[in-house]
Every structure is written in C-alpha cells, then in structure tokens.
C-alpha cells in the first residue's frame, strides 16, 4: 500500500469513529435539551396551577365568610315598622312524603332604600340561603322606610338527610 492510500484510509476510519462516538452524544444532548425544556414548561404550568389553586382557596374563604355573614343576618337587625303575611301555601311531594310551605311577607323596614338593596341582593344571589324564592324591594314615598316583599320556601317536615335544592326554581 502506498502512503497516500493509508492516509486516506486512516482519515476515513477516523471520520467513521468520530461519527460513531460524537453523533450519539450530540443526539443525546439534543434530546436532553428538549426534555429539559419540557420539564421547565411543566414546572411553569404547575406553578400557574398552584397560583390558581391559592386564588380559588382565597375566593372560597371569602365566600365562606360572606355566607356566614348572610346566615347570621336576621331581620331583627333592622327596626321593623310592620310585617304583613301576604300568603302561605303548603305543597307536598307524594313519593318522599315531604312538605314545604311557600310563605310571602311584606315587611316595612326603617332603613333607607339604598342601604338595604345591596344587602338583600347579596342574600338573593347567594346560594347559601337557597330557600329564598323572590325578594322585591320597593322604595316608599316616605323615606327612610323601605318595603321588602320576601317570598321563600320553608320545610314543614324536613328530615335530617335531605339535600336542599340549590335553585328554588327546580321546586
């Protein structure tokens, strides 16, 4: 063999060896980089989820406080000028032997209209007092008197294990 052929042969072998040794490492490095990017993306998504969960926990805590505030509410907190029963209907569900009474009261309170509207709207919109069916608030001519018509469902013989329906329209 001549020296030139040997040189070419050695160069060819070295190229093949380099290719066999270096390229797998390069491909592993590229694969590692892509996996690292995936993990970083997943880590960022997890952080976002944790932030969302914390936000939901805060909102839940605020809702619980608002529900407690509403549940603690009583019309005795206001001076009632007059309360007149408008109607009372009893309805029964035959299969379950349950009865509930639909009551409506017209209550005149010694509170300014604007002060009570937001509070009663909160009660009506919240699902915590799910038996309330309708609240009408009417401005009376002689402020600071407000007329509230409160229509609600009240269980007559509510068993311990009954699940109260969230939306009273379902009744």
Higher pLDDT, 171 or 31: 31
CA-based R_g, the chain, Å: 37
For the chain, give the percent of residues with pLDDT over 90: 8
On whether the CB atoms of residues 102 and 91 are closer than 8 A, the answer is yes
Helices (DSSP H) in 1-112: which residue ranges?
3-72
pTM, two decimals, is 0.32
On whether the CB atoms of residues 166 and 153 are closer than 8 A, the answer is no
Query: Does the pLDDT of residue 102 top 70, yes or no?
Result: no
Could you read off the pLDDT of 42-92 as tens digits, one per residue?
999 999 998 888 888 888 787 777 666 655 555 445 555 555 566 666 666
Sign of CA dihedral 35, 38, 43, 49: negative
Distances (CA, A) of 165 to 13, 133, 154: 81, 12, 12
109 C-beta neighbours (distance < 10 Å), count: 24
Query: Which range, 31-40, 66-75, 107-116, 161-170, is most confident?
Result: 31-40
Query: Which range, 50-54, 70-74, 123-127, 138-142, is most confident?
Result: 50-54
Distances (CA, A) of 91 to 70, 135, 163: 27, 20, 17
Contacts made by residues 129-132, CB under 8 angstroms, sequence distance 24+: 129/70, 129/71, 130/164, 130/165, 130/166, 130/167, 130/168, 131/155, 131/164, 131/168, 132/168
Give the model's pLDDT for residue 16.
82
Residue position matching structure tokens 């349950």: 98
């Amino acid at each position: 063999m001549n020296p030139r052929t040997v040189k070419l042969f050695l160069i060819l072998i070295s190229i093949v060896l380099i290719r066999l040794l270096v390229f797998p490492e390069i491909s592993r490095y590229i694969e590692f980089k892509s996996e690292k990017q995936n993990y970083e993306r997943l880590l960022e998504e997890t952080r976002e989820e944790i932030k969302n969960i914390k936000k939901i926990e805060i909102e839940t805590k605020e809702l619980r406080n608002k529900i407690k505030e509403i549940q603690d509410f009583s019309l005795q907190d206001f001076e009632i000028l007059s309360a007149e029963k408008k109607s009372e209907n009893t309805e029964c569900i035959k299969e379950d032997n349950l009865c509930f009474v639909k009551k409506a009261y017209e209550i005149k309170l010694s509170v300014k209209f604007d002060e009570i509207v937001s509070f009663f709207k909160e009660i009506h919109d919240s699902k915590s007092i799910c038996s309330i069916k309708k609240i009408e608030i009417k401005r009376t001519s002689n402020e600071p008197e407000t007329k509230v018509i409160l229509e609600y469902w009240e269980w007559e013989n509510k068993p311990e294990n009954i699940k109260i329906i969230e939306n009273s329209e379902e009744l």
